Structure 1
């Protein structure tokens, strides 16, 4: 199995990853967000991609998700751990916390969300009952337990369009729908990985409370401060995952 890490806001590079090379790719769906970076962590080789580009410049609704995922498949990747900055909705989802969602609700629109759109021989419907790989989620949770990192092991990720943050009423609606987290990049990334039969799981790093849950306006200074703490935990979690004996990489 070959593991890829997709880094979101606050994670354009991984401390502790020894870079061994990088590669640009052209895909049938255009150019990925950035070059694919090859590296080693704890003696294990992996592929890293900065979802928003490096430097961070591509907003969530403009990311070429199809090119990003297709390129990883082309490189022989079989597993993807997607790291994402999110807002907290559920009571346990305080800023700086990490959650490993097991469900997702898609509120985004207008995105190129499938590989099965044109020149088809037959219509394809993927099963998306469990949008995140149970086996890969279990490995992430195991890594958290081994490293002593506090996480919430389940949760529902609500994917909004962005790039603006949500209104108080939108967050209230999402809470009523059962969302614990709100982000802008979870879809169609998860579904595209499933279409290419890649194992995919998400590490959500809570950067702020959703609108109306915390006090006052949400500021970028607040988000950046919380991400510095949360992404540090996420990197330690990734290191712990690469130490697991059942994780076989290239």
Structure 2
């Protein structure tokens, strides 16, 4: 299988010199439109699809993002591997603004978002014990040059759109979380349900508000750090190399193997049709 890379992130990620055959495409999904059109193209011979997470012009809040439509749109375009690039606050002294972090675990504290493609009439329980793909994360790590890179971090996903109170920030540090952001969940869970390999490259923009020497989060500081790191993030995408494979050795493309619980005779036909795009491998393709 020839891999196709999906990138979810900010506008700077698709402004890459050398991206060939560029085309903005409109994708419709059973969960509505994604955040924006998707920019497709080829970079160094690799097929890619770039989705602005918040939409061009940043029109979606973390809670209003169409997470299901975003993942379904990438799946519909034939994406096999998803790299999410996210801005985060640091909950550790040694994760400084400007550093890159490869996330491998999440604590989900969001509460106002639809978190599954499945539901009444077609129930599935997908394991997210290991929500990110070690194979894809290894490839991303090899592509990072310049910024300091930390591996093996836990991402605390909060609802937002406000930043944390200091009491919350200290609580999350006590839980062992390493970084905090607003968009990592349910994005990672939905990628798992869609059987897409998923990796998260987080860019540290600030120390949240726990740090005595840094005070409250300053949006101007966040934007300045993101701007400074934009070229480094583009370099990661340019250097990222994915080898052809039969299957994902981490099992990402088989995450639904034993997950669907509803007996075939009791499945809601409308739900089955709605889910074919993301779960057709286990539900059977329509003819």
Note the C-alpha offset of 1:43: 3.1
Q: Which residue of 1 aligns with 2:42?
A: 40
Q: Which residue of 2 aligns with 1:223?
A: 222
Q: Which residue of 2 aligns with 1:126?
A: 126
CA contact (8 A) 2:5 2:46 kept: no
Query: Secondary structure of 2:238's match?
Result: helix
Note the C-alpha offset of 1:149: 4.3
Alignment of 1:185 with 2:183, yes or no, is yes
Tell me, in whole angstroms, the C-alpha distance in 1 between the residues paired with 2:159 and 2:132. 20
Correspondences of 1:172-211 after superposition (within 5 Å): 172-211=170-209
CA contact (8 A) 2:139 2:242 kept: no
Correspondences of 1:229-240 after superposition (within 5 Å): 229-240=228-239
- Larger gyration radius, structure 1 or structure 2: 2
Query: Secondary structure of 1:207's match?
Result: strand
Alignment of 1:75 with 2:77, yes or no, is yes
Q: Which residue of 2 aligns with 1:6?
A: 8
Query: Secondary structure of 2:103's match?
Result: coil
Match of 1:246 among 243, 248, 253: 243
TM-score (norm 2): 0.80
CA contact (8 A) 2:116 2:189 kept: yes
Tell me, in whole angstroms, the C-alpha distance in 2 between the residues paired with 1:169 and 1:19. 49
CA offset digits 1:176-227 (Å, max 9, x no partner): 1111000000000000000011000001011111113142332221111111
Q: Which residue of 2 aligns with 1:85?
A: 87
Note the C-alpha offset of 1:132: 0.4
Q: 1:141 to 1:72 in 2, by over 3 A?
A: same
CA offset digits 1:95-119 (Å, max 9, x no partner): 1110001111001102011011133
Note the C-alpha offset of 1:12: 6.1
Alignment of 1:161 with 2:159, yes or no, is yes
CA contact (8 A) 1:98 1:234 kept: no
CA RMSD of aligned residues (A): 1.7
Q: 1:170 to 1:245 in 2, by over 3 A?
A: closer
Q: Which residue of 2 aligns with 1:150?
A: 148
> Structure 1 stretches of 5 or more lacking a match?
none
Tell me, in whole angstroms, the C-alpha distance in 2 between the residues paired with 1:217 and 1:93. 17
**Higher RCO, 1 or 2 (CA under 8 Å, sep at least 6)?**
1
Note the C-alpha offset of 1:19: 5.3
Note the C-alpha offset of 1:245: 6.4
CA offset digits 1:20-42 (Å, max 9, x no partner): 21211111111100001112222
Query: Secondary structure of 1:60's match?
Result: coil
Tell me, in whole angstroms, the C-alpha distance in 2 between the residues paired with 1:180 and 1:220. 20
Query: Secondary structure of 1:110's match?
Result: coil
TM-score (norm 1): 0.91
